[in-house]
Amino acid sequence: MQLTKQMLDQRADQVYDVLVIGGGAAGLSAGIYLQRYLLSTLIIDKGKARSFWMQELHNYLGLPPDTPGRNVLKQGKEHYLSLEGDYLNGYVEEVIDEGETFAVHVRIGRTNPTSAVFRSRYLIAASGIIDHLPKLADMQNVFDYAGHNLHVCLVCDGYEMRDQRTGVFGSSESSLEVAFPLGWFTPYIALFTNGEFEVSTEFRDRLTHHGYTLVEQPIKQFLGEHHHMTGVELADGSVIELDAGLVSMGSKYHADYLKNIDLEYQGGNLVTDKMNRTSHPRIFAVGDLKVGMNQVAIAAADGALAATQIWRDIRRREGTRRSPVTTHAA
């Protein structure tokens, strides 16, 4: 059921089997499997998952290559709700480990927000990441092209940049390293620092060896129309023509709500076992939050794995189902 602020009292005393934080591909996949395992589930979603911004999913088995990510999420949410799972649009502020349960503190609504606390026995962190983008005076200029031919994922979109004049936009020398594997797809690469950092002599020599161009001037704006980026105008008014771009500036990990729980991390990612269990036995991490590949196909599989392991845990501990879901007439 889609929950609203007016319905919160109906769930005040409920302890869910699993609370899923995040309604992207990983969270929805987990929710669908959990409901099919006859477990009670609440998905809390802040909105605008990373895959929501994907204009076309060219690498997902079985889907037409022009399928937008938002269509996949819409269908996934409808599937989950059809299985009678609960779904709430809200922002998770904090998770407190109470021992047998987790208390999940949520802010609901942007204007006149309401606070609520939900409880669950297990937690799945599926809140994902959001990519940092080049910082320009007019950020709308960046948003006009991001997710179209201004890409953020080499694995997803390297094929889309094959033999194209491609700009790589980084935030540090190490972030520009992505240019070298990008060279598998295209030799026509220009790297942009936006005037924000220096690169070493050794790195410059490597770029020269590969025939890549280094552009160190600040960027004034991206050029193009109808969401198709055609180049970059620099601060001095000069223009560098491009066919595509790859942003490599790191990401913001949406997992601050776990800061008071002792978990194992590798960089910004949560470390999990093969079933996506973290170092806490009742907290699972799926999708972009965990160590691994940031792909929609992987995220969907992650959700299935985590849900299945939670069902195994509960089934082995309780032995039988607690109560029938439906009663059939004789």
Based on the domain organization, do 169 and 233 belong to the same domain?
yes
Domain holding 306, by residue range, is 5-130+251-318
Q: Which of 228, 248, 268 is the last residue of a domain?
A: 248
Task: Quote the percentage of the chain above a pLDDT of 70.
Answer: 96
Based on the domain organization, do 143 and 120 belong to the same domain?
no
Whether 329 is in a domain gets the answer: no
H/E element, 209: helix 201-210
CA distances from residue 55 to 49, 121, 151, 306 in whole angstroms, order as listed: 13, 36, 10, 28
Could you give the dihedral angle defined by the CA atoms of residues 81, 85, 91 and 92, in that order, rounded to the nearest 10 degrees?
-160
Based on the domain organization, do 77 and 27 belong to the same domain?
yes
Q: What is the CATH number of the domain that holds 157?
A: 3.50.50.60
Can you give the pTM of this predicted structure?
0.90
Based on the domain organization, do 166 and 260 belong to the same domain?
no
Whether 328 is in a domain gets the answer: no
pLDDT at 106 over 80: yes
| pLDDT higher at 329 or 191 | 191
Q: Which of 221, 248, 275 is the last residue of a domain?
A: 248
pLDDT tens figures, 151-187: 999 998 999 999 999 999 999 999 999 999 999 999 9
Q: Total structural domains in the chain?
A: 2
Q: In whole angstroms, give the CA distance from residue 234 to residue 237.
A: 5
Structure tokens, 168: 């790589």
Which pLDDT band, with edges at 50, 70 and 90, does 130 fall under?
confident
Structure tokens, 299: 């995220």
Neighbours of 270 (CB within 10 A): 24
Neighbours of 69 (CB within 10 A): 21
Based on the domain organization, do 14 and 114 belong to the same domain?
yes
Q: Which of 232, 248, 264 is the last residue of a domain?
A: 248
Tell me the residue type at 277.
R
pLDDT at 326 over 60: no
